[in-house]
């Protein structure tokens, strides 16, 4: 007599459901008597330059919501979000991140020029990249 697994050609037993988890954050526990603990790591301390960049990034993201969407402003919005996340999670934006942000700022120059905080982000990035 074949087991359910053998009868179904291997893999999951008959009646079992396949489960796929794409992205998950936090603590998870599976199975009987499992326990999961989730501890939040302390936020890193930011230098004055990184704090200035973070505030300017947030302001520019907010201001860009009022502009017509273009591929350039969409990319800039994405780069601003990733820069904000990186600063919040690690305490600083890496040179590679700053270079990508600077390129996105240049590509969306028309919209950035109209946003009051665009100059602040551009200046903060230039200062952190050394020019």
What are the Cα distances from residue 24, in Å, to 28, 39, 125?
9, 15, 32
In the prediction, which pLDDT does 37 show? 67
**Core vs surface per residue 31-52: b (16+ CB within 10 A) or e:** eeeeeeeeeeeeeeebeeebeb
pLDDT digits (tens, 9 = 90+) for 69-90: 999 999 999 999 999 999 999 9
The DSSP result for 58-117, as a single string, is HHHHHHHTTSPP-HHHHHHHHHHHHHHHHHHHHSS--HHHHHHHHHHHHHTHHHHHHSTT
pLDDT digits (tens, 9 = 90+) for 42-53: 778 889 999 999
What are the sequence ranges of the domains in the chain? Answer: 48-129
């Amino acid at each position: 007599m074949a087991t359910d697994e053998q009868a179904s050609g291997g893999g999951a037993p008959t009646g079992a459901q396949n489960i796929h988890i794409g992205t998950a954050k936090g603590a998870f526990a599976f199975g009987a008597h499992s326990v999961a603990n989730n501890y939040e790591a302390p936020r890193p301390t930011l230098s004055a330059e990184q704090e200035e960049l973070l505030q300017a990034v947030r302001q520019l993201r907010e201001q860009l919501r009022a502009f017509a969407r273009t591929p350039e402003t969409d990319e800039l919005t994405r780069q601003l979000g990733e820069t904000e996340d990186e600063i919040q999670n690690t305490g600083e934006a890496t040179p590679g991140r700053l270079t990508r942000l600077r390129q996105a700022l240049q590509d969306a120059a028309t919209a950035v020029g109209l946003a009051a905080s665009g100059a602040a982000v551009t200046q903060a990035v230039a200062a952190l990249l050394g020019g």
